[in-house]
């Protein structure tokens, strides 16, 4: 269901250093299944179609900017000193003063779903609340702010782990860190939050007692699936998030008609696409922006990075493909390496121990064994014999090889670039080609004469 929250400002908190990650990379730029936490959070927010998004950044703000760029309707604000989540939200005060409602989301919760956020906002509006908190009951509440309720069930406070007493630590219901708050009240209340606590930080959760004191309506909305609120503070939680997301991604592709064998050995990143009736075999990794068409078979143990494959393609075991483009019904591998710029037309066959780089290979051409094809344009229906090398590099510069249509290259040929081979040509095995080859006919370089040694006796074991 499409959403459109036209009076909503979403404030994304992403200024923290993420000390517990022990990393030079800002925490929210760490990837979960190939996409940064921040990108995950931003995509689920964008689907709400809010009025505006304000990103509060601080630590590593320049790195964040170069990762995220400048999406329309996103405003950057800087929190120079990380004095706490309440202080972070305050930085967004002048960003969109006309909005009526604010949704505050931490950028370190990559599993959050759009529908969960929409549900919180809808309940906030329906209940005419002033402050709504998204809460959950995870199996282990350690580290999260605990939701304290009174005898009537009314939320009275959120107590951070470090400030909680033994009794409060027993509370199972925790805050996800996500709040929906009426804007006018929010920025008024933030002025009154202090930092008299274990971390000497201005805590956003302290808005709860302030709201109650002002007679405002506060509610905690419990989410169905507590996995979604997993907040990433260290690499152990990062691994947990990735595991959960991987299970979701695999379930989703299975629903779309993809067969995934031995799924616990497979990696399918978040931005990958897989067509129906494709089969992904054990140990295979589909990474980055890889796109697979229908009826493909990949693996076992193939790695595909940022590559585009059409329909009906087989990628046999232990092949490695990076930034390449493959037409319908091609056959790749086993043990093939397709490097960036490999562009294979329909029904091309690349066999074992073949490396292809920055090369266009025409329809139906075959490079079946032990070859290197680099900086090459090859026509249709060529057959390149085992051990053929395009010698593209002279130690300083790369040179181009052009091969026409229906060319037959004998085994162990060296094509010393720059060089061109005319259509229909046949090149004899073992040739070293340094000059352009004419169309049709047979071309071969001089070969050492073959001789026969008549009285030669094969040595036997024990001979001295
Ligand atoms: C926070 C909440 C806690 C909640 C948990 C859910 C507070 C005080 N605690 O704890 O109640 O259960 O999230 O995951 O709000 N940030 C800033 N500026 C700052 C401090 C933090 O932008 O000055 C950002 C961080 O980059 C991060 C988010 O706010 O994205 C939350 O900060 P973090 O330090 O992870 O808080 P938690 O201890 O996880
Ligand atoms: Mg956190």
Q: Residues 187, 264: one domain?
A: no
Which residue puts its alpha carbon closest to atom 10 of ligand 1?
144
| 358 touches ligand 1 (CB under 6 Å) | no
Confidence of residue 1 (pLDDT cuts 50, 70, 90): low
Q: Residues 337, 387: one domain?
A: yes
Burial tier of 161 (Cβ tally within 10 Å: 0-12, 13-18, 19+): middle
Cα 49 from Cα 36, distance rounded (Å): 21
* Average of per-residue pLDDT values in the chain: 97
**Model confidence over 66-124: pLDDT tens digits?**
999 999 899 999 999 999 999 999 999 999 999 999 999 999 999 999 999 999 999 99
The whole-number pLDDT of residue 7 equals: 97
Q: Residues 249, 386: one domain?
A: yes
Q: Residues 212, 245: one domain?
A: no
Ramachandran angles phi, psi of 21, nearest 5°: -80, -20
| 228 touches ligand 1 (CB under 6 Å) | no
Q: Could you give the percent of the chain with pLDDT greater than 90?
A: 98
Q: Residues 222, 261: one domain?
A: no
Residue 34, number of CB atoms within 10 A of its CB: 21
**Model confidence over 245-255: pLDDT tens digits?**
999 999 999 99
Distance (Å) of CA 338 to CA 46, 228, 302, 311, 393: 36, 37, 11, 18, 18
Assess if residue 22 is contained within a domain: yes
Domain end call among 211, 229, 247: 229
Q: Residues 176, 269: one domain?
A: no
Confidence of residue 17 (pLDDT cuts 50, 70, 90): confident
| 202 touches ligand 1 (CB under 6 Å) | no
> For residue 118, what is the enclosing H or E element?
helix 114-126
Atom of ligand 1 nearest to the CA of 83: 23
Atom of ligand 1 nearest to the CA of 58: 22
In DSSP terms, 367 is beta-bridged to 350, 384
Cα 19 from Cα 35, distance rounded (Å): 21
| 84 touches ligand 1 (CB under 6 Å) | yes
The whole-angstrom distance between residue 336's C-alpha and the CA centroid of its chain comes to 23
Distance (Å) of CA 44 to CA 61, 68, 114, 117: 21, 15, 5, 8
Assess if residue 459 is contained within a domain: no
Which residue puts its alpha carbon closest to atom 8 of ligand 1?
203
| 176 touches ligand 1 (CB under 6 Å) | yes
Assess if residue 373 is contained within a domain: yes
Q: Residues 216, 155: one domain?
A: yes
Cα 220 from Cα 147, distance rounded (Å): 8
Assess if residue 460 is contained within a domain: no
| 212 touches ligand 1 (CB under 6 Å) | no
Spot the catalytic one: 200, 243, 291, 369: 369
Which residue puts its alpha carbon closest to atom 1 of ligand 1?
177
**Ligand (nearest to CA of 144):** 1
**Residue 85 Cα to ligand 1 middle (Å):** 6
**278 Cβ contact list (under 8 Å, min separation 6):** 258, 259, 292, 293, 294, 295, 296, 297, 298
Task: Give the up-direction half-sphere exposure of residue 85: CA atoms within 13 A in the CB hemisphere.
Answer: 20
**Residue 395 Cα to ligand 2 middle (Å):** 51
| Domain at 304, CATH number | 2.160.10.10
Domain end call among 229, 250, 280: 229
**Ligand (nearest to CA of 80):** 1
Q: Residues 270, 132: one domain?
A: no
**Model confidence over 331-360: pLDDT tens digits?**
999 999 999 999 999 999 999 999 999 999
The closest of 110, 114, 105 to 34, measured between CA atoms, is 110
Indicate whether 2 pLDDT > 90: no
Cα 226 from Cα 208, distance rounded (Å): 22
Q: Residues 260, 218: one domain?
A: no
| 79 touches ligand 1 (CB under 6 Å) | yes
Confidence of residue 461 (pLDDT cuts 50, 70, 90): very high
From first CA to last CA, the distance across the chain in angstroms is: 86
Assess if residue 1 is contained within a domain: no
**Ligand (nearest to CA of 27):** 1
Domain end call among 182, 204, 229: 229
Q: Residues 213, 272: one domain?
A: no
The whole-number pLDDT of residue 238 equals: 98
Atom of ligand 1 nearest to the CA of 160: 11
Q: Residues 360, 379: one domain?
A: yes
Say what the pTM is.
Answer: 0.92
Indicate whether 444 pLDDT > 90: yes
Domain boundaries, position 108: 8-229
Atom of ligand 1 nearest to the CA of 202: 8
| 269 touches ligand 1 (CB under 6 Å) | no
3-state DSSP assignment of residue 299: coil
Q: Residues 196, 242: one domain?
A: no
Assess if residue 98 is contained within a domain: yes
The whole-number pLDDT of residue 397 equals: 97
Ramachandran angles phi, psi of 17, nearest 5°: -80, -35
**Residue 233 Cα to ligand 2 middle (Å):** 5
Alpha-carbon dihedral sign for residues 236, 241, 242, 247: positive
Assess if residue 457 is contained within a domain: no
Assess if residue 367 is contained within a domain: yes
Atom of ligand 1 nearest to the CA of 57: 22
**Model confidence over 145-171: pLDDT tens digits?**
999 999 999 999 999 999 999 999 999
| 15 touches ligand 1 (CB under 6 Å) | yes
The whole-number pLDDT of residue 72 equals: 87
Catalytic annotation on 405? Answer: no
**Residue 204 Cα to ligand 1 middle (Å):** 9
| Domain at 203, CATH number | 3.90.550.10
Which residue puts its alpha carbon closest to atom 22 of ligand 1?
15
| 34 touches ligand 1 (CB under 6 Å) | no
**Ligand (nearest to CA of 160):** 1
**Number of structural domains the chain divides into:** 2
């Amino acid at each position: 269901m499409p959403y459109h929250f036209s009076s909503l400002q979403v404030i994304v908190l992403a200024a923290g250093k993420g000390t517990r990650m022990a990393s030079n990379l800002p925490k929210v730029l760490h990837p979960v299944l190939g996409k940064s936490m921040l990108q995950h959070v931003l995509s689920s927010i964008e689907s709400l179609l809010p009025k505006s998004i304000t990103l509060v950044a601080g630590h590593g703000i320049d790195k964040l900017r170069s990762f995220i760029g400048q999406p329309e309707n996103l405003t950057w604000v800087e929190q120079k000193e990380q004095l706490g989540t309440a202080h972070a939200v305050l930085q967004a005060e002048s960003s969109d003063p006309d909005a009526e409602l604010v949704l505050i989301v931490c950028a370190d919760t990559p599993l959050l779903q759009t529908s969960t956020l929409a549900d919180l906002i809808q309940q906030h509006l329906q209940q005419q609340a002033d402050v709504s908190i998204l809460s959950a009951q995870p199996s282990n509440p350690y580290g999260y702010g605990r939701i304290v309720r009174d005898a009537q069930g009314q939320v009275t406070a959120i107590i951070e782990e470090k400030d909680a007493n033994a009794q409060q630590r027993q509370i199972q219901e925790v805050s996800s860190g996500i709040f929906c708050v009426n804007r006018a009240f929010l920025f008024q209340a933030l002025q009154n939050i202090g930092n008299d606590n274990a971390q000497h930080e201005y805590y956003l959760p302290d808005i709860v007692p302030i709201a109650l004191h002002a007679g405002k309506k506060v509610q905690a909305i419990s989410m169905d699936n507590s996995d979604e609120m997993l907040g990433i503070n260290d690499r152990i939680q990062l691994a947990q998030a990735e595991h959960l997301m991987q299970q979701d991604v695999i379930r989703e592709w299975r629903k779309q008609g993809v067969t995934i064998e031995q799924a616990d050995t497979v990696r399918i990143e978040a931005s990958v696409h897989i067509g129906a009736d494709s089969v992904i075999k054990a140990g295979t990794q589909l990474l980055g922006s890889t796109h697979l068409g229908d009826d493909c078979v990949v693996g076992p143990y193939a790695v595909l990075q940022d590559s585009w494959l059409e329909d009906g393609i087989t990628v046999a075991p232990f092949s490695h493909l990076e930034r390449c483009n493959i037409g319908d019904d091609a056959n790749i591998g086993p043990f093939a390496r397709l490097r960036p710029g490999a562009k294979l037309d329909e029904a091309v066959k690349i066999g074992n121990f073949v490396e292809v780089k920055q090369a266009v290979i025409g329809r139906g051409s075959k490079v079946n064994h032990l070859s290197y094809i680099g900086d090459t344009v090859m026509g249709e229906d060529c057959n390149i014999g085992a051990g053929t090398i395009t010698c593209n590099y002279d130690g300083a510069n790369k040179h181009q090889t052009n091969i026409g249509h229906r060319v037959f290259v004998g085994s162990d040929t060296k094509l010393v670039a720059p060089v061109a081979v005319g259509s229909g040509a046949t090149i004899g095995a073992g040739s070293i080609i340094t000059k352009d080859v004419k169309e049709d006919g047979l071309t071969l370089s001089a070969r050492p004469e073959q001789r026969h040694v008549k009285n030669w006796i094969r040595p036997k074991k024990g001979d001295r």
